[in-house]
Amino acid sequence: MTRPEHWKEVRSRKIWGVDNRYKLTIRRLKPKVDLLIFYVTDIMAFMGVYDVVSEPYYDEIPIWSGGIYPHRIKINPLLEKSISIKELFDELLFITNRKKGRGGWSDHLQFSMVSICDEDYKTICSRTKDKHLHITN
């Protein structure tokens, strides 16, 4: 999950970073094994699928406004197209609480990194492909 202003930097620099709260999570990511699907707040959409292409590393050079996010990985786009969460909401298994408001479904997306099951990954990708997805190498 990221904010729109951070998404621009993630996409242009092909780097994802998190703060200390998520350092153990990002350290588990493996190049050419793990994939990231980015959910962008405000837009309320999944914006692309990215391959992890580097081992996690630490770098304090500022990239994003509002924070350093020094625990980083390099990423490469696999699928670049957006799909609104509203179009997938009822199909996503990782959203277990479907009510609105505080304590509701949006709480599932309040973390920088959330694991999802293979079925949710396939749902997001297949529905995005239905929207004439541009595939890059």
Q: Going by DSSP bridges, is the β-strand pair 57-58/71-80 parallel, antiparallel, or unpaired?
A: antiparallel
- CB within 8 A of 55, min separation 6: which ones? 31, 73
Residue 61 structural domain: 4-135
Interval 120-129: pLDDT, tens: 889 888 887 5
Separation CA 62–CA 66 (nearest Å): 9
pLDDT of 132: 38
pLDDT of 94: 72
pLDDT of 133: 37
Contact 92, 123 (CB under 8 A): yes
pLDDT of 106: 54
Which tokens go with 119? 């079925």
What is the domain count for the chain?
1
Interval 42-67: pLDDT, tens: 888 888 899 999 999 999 999 988 88
Domain of residue 108, CATH code? 3.10.590.10
Interval 79-91: pLDDT, tens: 888 888 888 878 8
Q: What is the DSSP string of 26-90?
A: HHT--TTT-EEEEEETTTTEEEEEEEE-S--EE--S--STT----EEEEEEEEEE--EEHHHHGG
Contact 99, 50 (CB under 8 A): no
Q: Taking the complete model, does pTM exceed 0.85, yes or no?
A: no
Which tokens go with 80? 């670049």
Q: What are the backbone angles phi and psi of residue 120, rounded to the nearest 5°? A: -65, -40
